[in-house]
Amino acid sequence: MINGKKLIAVLPAYNAALTLKKTYEEIPFEIVDDVVLVDDCSTDNTLEVANNIGIKHVIIHEKNKGYGGNQKTCYDTAMRLGADIVIMLHPDYQYTPKLIQSLSYLIANDLYPVAFGSRILGKGALKGGMPMYKYIFNRFLTLSQNILINQKLSEYHTGYRAFSKEVILKINYHANSDDFVFDNQMISQIFYAGFDIAEVTCPTKYFPEASSINFSRSMKYGIGVLGVSFKHFFNKLGIIKSEIYKTRS
């Protein structure tokens, strides 16, 4: 715990057997109270590794629900277990668990309700081996999103995120997509609800075992991201009313 607040790390897993143990062993358990792993119908031995290393809360999807669907189960489970702070950590070891302290203390000390690990601050993405086309794609999308949403994040596409309980309970993430665009819908909801997001420089690693999406899926993702930003923009103007911006409390 930090300041009496319970920390739960959630790991949305799909075919993470090769990197799960290394990721888990770097989690700072002096502050992290619980770990939840949601296996999205992996075809490798992710579940066997999870059981062998002693993860207490393992949730199994009998059918693949997608990246967004996996996160929905992650956050639902964290809330059921009484989390005050939820850290979303990918088990593919692309993001170091050693940054959990920096992200969670910002929330535990009531400085920000949300904190992201940014690969763009400090040139972490290129140093870590992000392909140049993905870097350029990231920068173009982030610029467009900042203009449409009227914010100033360094990137909208990091998978390393920490949330306060208040944020998780308020935004309507169940109305979001089950695919990769879920992440950007959640950012849009957070800003729309009036919450601020802090960013911390985050080193990252690109290697064969790390999860990634191919070029065609990247294009589909990019179109979806711009769609979310335009929806945010038009909702703010009152032109449309989208279900995803209806808060839960």
Q: What is the pLDDT of residues 132-171, one digit of tens each?
A: 878 888 899 999 999 999 999 999 999 999 999 999 999 9
Cα 81 to Cα 35, 124, 238, distances in angstroms: 10, 34, 37
Give the model's pLDDT for residue 204.
79
Residue 49 CA from chain centroid, whole number:
22
pLDDT top residue among 158 and 249:
158
In one-letter notation, the amino acid at residue 152 is K
In a domain, 36, yes or no: yes
In a domain, 182, yes or no: yes
In a domain, 1, yes or no: no
Distance between CA atoms of 121 and 220, rounded to whole angstroms?
25
In a domain, 169, yes or no: yes
Which CATH number characterizes residue 181's domain? 3.90.550.10
Six-digit token string for 42? 């992996």
User: Domain count of the chain?
Assistant: 1
Evaluate if residue 211 carries a pLDDT over 70.
no
- List beta partners, residue 9: 35, 87
Give the model's pLDDT for residue 188.
98
pLDDT confidence band for 207 (50 / 70 / 90): low
pLDDT confidence band for 175 (50 / 70 / 90): very high
Distance between CA atoms of 73 and 37, rounded to whole angstroms?
10
Evaluate if residue 113 carries a pLDDT over 60.
yes
In a domain, 156, yes or no: yes
pLDDT confidence band for 214 (50 / 70 / 90): low
Say which residues have a Cβ less than 8 Å from residue 100's Cβ, sequence separation at least 6.
7, 9, 27, 28, 31, 32, 87, 89, 162
φ and ψ of 92, to 5 deg: -90, 5
- The widest CA-to-CA distance across the chain, in whole angstroms, is 53
Distance between CA atoms of 45 and 211, rounded to whole angstroms?
16
* pLDDT (average), residues 47-53: 97
Give the model's pLDDT for residue 29.
97
What percentage of the chain has pLDDT greater than the value 90?
A: 81
In a domain, 202, yes or no: yes
Contact 74, 68 (CB under 8 A): no
Evaluate if residue 193 carries a pLDDT over 70.
yes
In a domain, 113, yes or no: yes
In a domain, 211, yes or no: yes
φ and ψ of 97, to 5 deg: -65, -15
Give the model's pLDDT for residue 129.
73
What percentage of the chain has pLDDT greater than the value 70?
A: 94
- Residue range(s) defining the domain that contains residue 13: 7-245
Distance between CA atoms of 74 and 83, rounded to whole angstroms?
11
